[in-house]
Amino acid sequence: MENNRIDVNVDLDMSVFQAGEMTHTKISEPGRFTRMGKSSYLTFNETMENNESASILVKITENGEIHLKREAKQNNLASMLYFTHHDHNSASVHSEYGVMQMKTYTKDSLVEIKDKPLQGKINIDYDLIYDDNIVGNYKFRLIFGV
């Protein structure tokens, strides 16, 4: 399966607790799974309002780190988040107003990938932190498979 792209179905359920409110987002989209070297990549698009979309890239490194890149070119929005189990990492959020440097704290993370048939899940519970203040608590639940 080295360097091969495999078409998969992606289901993402995300819960966000921010400013005293809970919001849920569910996404079901086609995607692609690729292994290159010792890292795995999952790419898919998120359909947004007004028929716009954001491209999502999830990278899983050999040591279990998870990198999450989200880019919506039409809105000039992008984010790059890094997750390491029980650790703080840098993060950046790009908007029309400029770049905000943030941090993530990964409270819990789980990656499971099985080959035959290809299926996997990625769970991340994390805090998004700006200027030493928690701006939101996130639960990221992603399931993919052929």
Q: Which domains does the chain have, with CATH numbers?
A: 5-145 (2.40.128.20)
Look at 11-15, 74-78, 103-107, 129-133 and tell me which has the smallest mean pLDDT: 74-78
Is residue 3 within 8 Å of 35, Cβ to Cβ? yes
pLDDT, the chain, mean: 93
Q: CB within 8 A of 144, min separation 6: which ones?
A: 8, 9, 10, 11, 31, 33, 42, 119, 120, 121
| pLDDT recorded at residue 3 | 55
The model's pTM is: 0.91
- 48-85 pLDDT, tens digit per residue, is 777 789 999 999 999 989 999 999 988 888 999 999 99
**In the predicted model, what is the mean pLDDT of residues 27-55?**
92
User: CA dist 22 to 12, 34, 139, Å?
Assistant: 16, 33, 11
The candidate with the shortest Cα–Cα distance to 34, out of 66, 4, 60, is 4
